[in-house]
Amino acid sequence: MPMRSRRLPAEWEEQDGVLLAWPHENTDWKPYLKQVEPVFCEIAATISRFERVVILAPQQEPVAERLRRAGASMERITIWEVDTNDTWTRDYGPITVLDNGSPLLLDFSFNGWGLKFPADQDNQASRRLHELGALGAAPIENIGFVLEGGSIESDGRGTVLTTAECLLGPNRNPHLKRRMIEEELHRRLGVDRILWLHHGFLAGDDTDSHVDTLARLCPDDTLLHVFCDDVDDFHFESLQAMAMELESFRTGNGKPYRLIPLPWPSARFDEDGNRLPATYANFLIINGAVLVPTYRDVNDAVALEVVRTAFPGREVIGIDCLPLILQHGSLHCVTMQIPKGVLP
């Protein structure tokens, strides 16, 4: 395998900050703003204890005032007036690779998870941030290939974990076959190995099984993954099959991964009785800490303890994300890490 100039960092590598987009009246959060804004305040305030926060919002001052009241470290927070359709920066924020050691921002196309939702503003957000100087001097590369950050997991050493349901589906890059999609990932991200998951899903998930809702690469060749042991739950067979797939995967050195199952939160439903995609796998790794979504559930404490086993050197902090799943996402989905060397 030839040496590649590009490397996709692991999320646990050192970061400059985290990107967030604020919920507002013109997003699908409009009916739930009173419930969800405190969640965004807590996420931003908690991150600001450890690193910087870059926020997209229609207006600066109302957001800044809410964050001040929430006790955020305002010297670490920058708010940019950039329009967005929604708040899921994991999927439309820039994916940063290191090209010969220097950061390069990849602005992949975002089509609203396969043309399910409007995405015209979101698809331009990274470019607008870059034009404003919010992302420093690192160059940005516009790419016609559709790829969302939540659909890939990197170990920082050339391996990517993803799902066939998302990347090989007909609503992202229908003109490309699997081999061509793999070539695009190799070329753009500098990865050598792609681990494909063919099983696993969450009811209520609009992303076509993003991997960050199901299984996460962690340090020391560890995989944290959702696990359902309730035979009466209709997720049972699919998640059991996913666990068997994960057992068959091998590291770059040919060894099995250390697999750690996450607990299964109680079923949550919206007001129409539709199941919501509650998952503990949607955690965010930042400098010195891991933020874990909680759901006012009996298994919240168990999930925090499980995550600690994979990240023994970091503070593990629960964030109440029950309001977030009302729009079918969670903590990792509304954040995008910005690796070291990017922010001015």
Point out the residues that are catalytic.
Answer: 333
- Which one, of 51, 27, 55, 31, lies nearest residue 41 by Cα? 55
Task: Using CB atoms within 10 Å of the CB of residue 284, give its burial: 0 to 12 exposed, 13 to 18 middle, 19+ buried.
Answer: buried
Which tokens sit at 290?
A: 């891991």
Residue 60 belongs to what H/E stretch?
helix 60-69
Q: How far is CA 257 from CA 11, 67, 214, in A?
A: 18, 40, 16
CA gyration radius for the chain?
19
Q: Phi-psi category of 29—alpha, beta or left, where left has phi over 0 and alpha has psi -120 to 50?
A: alpha
Q: Do 222 and 260 touch, CB atoms closer than 8 A?
A: yes
Place of tokens 């967030």: 20
Distance between CA atoms of 127 and 89, rounded to whole angstroms? 13
- Which one, of 282, 261, 318, 343, lies nearest residue 153 by Cα? 282
* Count of Cβ atoms closer than 10 Å to residue 299 Cβ: 17
Distance between CA atoms of 103 and 137, rounded to whole angstroms? 9
Distance between CA atoms of 165 and 238, rounded to whole angstroms? 13
Distance between CA atoms of 3 and 192, rounded to whole angstroms? 10
Dihedral sign from CA coordinates of 149, 155, 160, 164: negative
User: Could you tell me what percentage of the chain is helix, strand and coil, using 3-state DSSP and rounding each to the nearest 5?
Assistant: 30, 25, 45
- One-letter amino acid identity for 272? D
Distance between CA atoms of 219 and 338, rounded to whole angstroms? 18
